[in-house]
Structure 1
Amino acid sequence: MGAALLMPYWFLLMVLVGLSPLKGMWGGVAVLLLPIPAAVVTGLVAGVRQMEGTAVKELLGGPLAGMNVPVARSLRARVSTGLWFSLHLHVGVVVGAASLAVPPFAAVLMLFPFLGWSMLEDERGVLHAWKGSPYQWLAPPAGLACLVALLGLIVIAGRVLAAFAPLFLGPTSEERVVELEEKAAKLAERNRLARELHDSVGHALSVVTLQAAAASRVLDRDPAFAREALTAIEESARAALTDLDHVLGLLREDKARTTPQPTLADLGRLVEQTKLAGVELDHSVDDAVGGVPAAVSREAYRIVQEGLTNALRHAGKVPVTLRITVAEQRLHVVLANPLGGTPSRTRDGGGRGLGGIRERVTVLRGDMAAGPDGGEWRMEVSLPLMSGA
């Protein structure tokens, strides 16, 4: 392929040299040497790097096959591509010329002992002197050796070019940094969406499970409570579907399908759902919470939601205390429940709740402490309000 790409350079230079004062030996030297810088200049075109990278991956393989080869944008990447393009073309010419010349020559050598004099045009050379002598039987092995040498040249040239390709076509240090930043951004977005699904849909399913269990136990003796629980299940399921639609809209980058995320202003609905699940919830919220920045308010809502879900899953229907206050430019969330309650049947499959809360707190540069404290499980979260700026 390199030989085919270099042919137009030679044809053009032969025409130009023929019109120039360069004649004889100097004209031939010009035709042979000028394609080298001409190929380098062609390689400076931005798209050549991607084209050459694709060719190397498909035809040569090697270390470059696992690398991303973007369009050359920096001067360093373009110069490296130009050098590679010139190297590719000229190595291709050597291999191509050998591939055209060696096979017929090797065929003549291998058939030499069996050829008649009329088929030979060498009347004064070595082959003429060997004809009819014992030396003529050295010609077939020599022809086979020529073919082996040609195959060796092709393999070695391919291996060497594949080994050097990352040096010329591989990503630069700046491109590696950009690629890592893009991967980190995608990973962070994926983790954020996973937290949204876990906190919203996971909480709704936990509440629905407990509400359904409570309704089934009192269906005969307290139909009014069962009806209220079924209504709460419907509301929880509808809220979960809304949250799910929001996350799917983000995944599809469909702004028309996304909905505003709940904030601390929507805490009343969350409290009611938790109480309907059979949890005795003692909560108090400062009036100043209404002035909390939107970003902090959204994350704080999810933190409270996941904290209540953890209490339902791991402690069962025990009294839960929730305190939300604002002091010294920080939002404080305290959630506590007694230890030793009967664990809920929904605790299987958990284990990511506290990790998700900690990730949210870390993003907002807040502080978090969670664990046994005396006879109760206690979680304290402190978020700086400036995080929402």
Structure 2
Amino acid sequence: MTRGFRPLLRGSTYAGALFAYCGALVSLPLLPFAALPALAWPSAPEGVRIVLTVLVWAGLIGVIGLARTTRRVLIACARRMLGVPLPDPVAESARSTAPGADRLRTPLWLLAHVALGWAGAQSAVLLVCAGLLLPGGWAGAEAGVSVRGWSLRPEHGWQSWAAALGCLLLAAVLCLAVTGALRRLAPRLLGPSSAERLALAAERERALAERNRLAHELHDSIGHTLTAATIQAAVAGEVLGADPEAARAALRSIEESTRAALEDLDYVLGMLREEQTGTAPPRSLADLPELLDRLRHAGAVVEPVLSGDFTRVRGTAARAVYRILQEGLTNALRHGAGGPIRVTVTATPDALRLSVVNRTGPGGDSATTAFPTSGHGLPGLTERVRLLHGEITAGPDGPDHWRLTARLPVRLPA
């Protein structure tokens, strides 16, 4: 039994009822404008003029509900006063393409809000007044309540107190009913519609895709830089006494590669914070010579074979090719067994083809223990290529070589 009375003791119940009553109060300034048509028709019966005033009043309330600002305010107030978890309205473009019935949900909510507010406020005021006036000791022996010919005048003191308590309890139950009705209506009328949910899902999908892209960018850039810097530091340490010039060249290469990695890191962090950063744009095929030079400074022998017009390869395809080559060369440095690394990139009018071939040691992966990895490199490349509707393969090429190949369908500008 106490569980049934528990909602009547919660402040959120009366906050929701107050929200409804405030909606009724805010609609009052529209009433004089709604009465103008009835005043202009004095010969009409009183009932017709009342109905006309109510209809015009409802129409004015509905028109206000069509404003986007009204929806934002109502959603914020419903979250605060009703405790209903409502998301913010979607972008205007998604709302403008929504069906007409969806755009009418806010006016319907506003009308229901005002109607419940007026009905609840009038009934609650009546019940509270009855609860205060019925006890005979407060207002004399003739105390009672009379509404449109119906009257309540208890003859005995205990009856008046029981009736007063019942009226106050009914007023509390009424607040609970009004709040419950608004809480049930809010998700249906103020929450996202089917079209808005699709727009929100698409927005979340775009955000997730962008985060994945940035994660790939960061993994490829930082992973390559750390691998190259580790090898270059080892080379510098070995030749420091015998060949100081070679050691200085290796250290300069470490400085250049780490600076490039810091630029990439700054770019990615700026994108995550949605800030305009002053760093360099994402890497592309124009940065390929610099990438190959860093590998040569690390002591690797790189044999590039480049054919086609790369100046016409731009945008996502150019960035993807650079990152694929970067990851392939990083894996060759980590897991290769020395020897030349053959890099082939071919640009044709309809596709970009690339491959990275390196020698492997006994067992095919001799350097894995020296350079432990997270295992995200090849899966990340596969996802990147599939998003561009391309093809990628990676695996042994003969008894002592490893080959990474990819094909990206592109349409080069004329």
Fold agreement, TM-score > 0.5: yes
1:124-135 matched pairs, under 5 angstroms: 130-131=155-156
Alpha-carbon deviation of 1:212? Answer: 1.4
Which residue matches 1:83?
108
Kept in 2: contact 1:37–1:86 (CA 8 A): no
Partner-residue secondary structure (3-state), 2:127? helix
Alpha-carbon deviation of 1:57? Answer: 1.7
Higher helix share: 1
Alpha-carbon deviation of 1:308? Answer: 1.3
Alpha-carbon deviation of 1:147? Answer: 1.8
Identify the range of structure 1 (369-378 vs 142-151) with the bigger mean alpha-carbon deviation. Answer: 369-378
CA RMSD for the aligned pairs? 3.3
Which residue matches 1:288?
308
Which residue matches 1:101?
126
Structure 2 counterpart of 1:82, which letter? P
Kept in 2: contact 1:249–1:257 (CA 8 A): no
Which residue matches 1:60?
82
Which residue matches 2:198?
177
Which residue matches 1:352?
376
Q: Which of 403, 408, 414 is 1:378 aligned to?
A: 403
Which residue matches 2:351?
330
Alpha-carbon deviation of 1:249? Answer: 5.3
Q: Which of 38, 42, 45 is 2:67 aligned to?
A: 45
Is residue 94 of structure 2 the alignment partner of residue 69 of structure 1?
no
Kept in 2: contact 1:315–1:344 (CA 8 A): no
Q: Which of 310, 314, 320 is 2:341 aligned to?
A: 320
Which residue matches 1:309?
330
Change in 2 beyond 3 A, CA 1:38/1:292: closer
Alpha-carbon deviation of 1:360? Answer: 2.7
Kept in 1: contact 2:351–2:408 (CA 8 A): yes
Structure 2 counterpart of 1:94, which letter? A
Partner-residue secondary structure (3-state), 2:120? helix
Structure 1: gaps (5+ residues) = none
Kept in 1: contact 2:388–2:409 (CA 8 A): yes
Kept in 2: contact 1:365–1:387 (CA 8 A): no
Which residue matches 1:139?
160
Deviations 1:315-345 (A, max 9, x none): 5756533333346843222223311423364
Change in 2 beyond 3 A, CA 1:67/1:307: same
Alpha-carbon deviation of 1:286? Answer: 2.9
Distance 1:237 1:179 in 2: 39
Change in 2 beyond 3 A, CA 1:121/1:173: closer
Distance 1:330 1:184 in 2: 27
Structure 1 counterpart of 2:307, which letter? D
Change in 2 beyond 3 A, CA 1:128/1:226: closer
Deviations 1:144-183 (A, max 9, x none): 2222222222112212222122322233333333333332
Task: Determine what percentage of the aligned residue pairs are the same residue.
Answer: 34
Which residue matches 1:362?
386
Q: Which of 296, 321, 345 is 1:275 aligned to?
A: 296
Structure 1 counterpart of 2:69, which letter? G
Is residue 236 of structure 2 the alignment partner of residue 215 of structure 1?
yes
Partner-residue secondary structure (3-state), 2:308? helix
Which residue matches 1:149?
170
Distance 1:257 1:121 in 2: 78
Alpha-carbon deviation of 1:86? Answer: 1.1
1:189-200 matched pairs, under 5 angstroms: 189-200=210-221
Deviations 1:233-258 (A, max 9, x none): 11212222333344455556666724
Partner-residue secondary structure (3-state), 2:89? coil
Kept in 1: contact 2:344–2:355 (CA 8 A): yes
Structure 2: gaps (5+ residues) = 1-21
Partner-residue secondary structure (3-state), 1:343? coil
**TM-score, normalization by structure 1:** 0.83
Structure 2 counterpart of 1:206, which letter? T
Alpha-carbon deviation of 1:25? Answer: 4.5
**Aligned length, in residue pairs:** 379
Structure 2 counterpart of 1:97, which letter? Q
Change in 2 beyond 3 A, CA 1:385/1:20: closer
Distance 1:127 1:176 in 2: 52
Kept in 1: contact 2:292–2:302 (CA 8 A): no
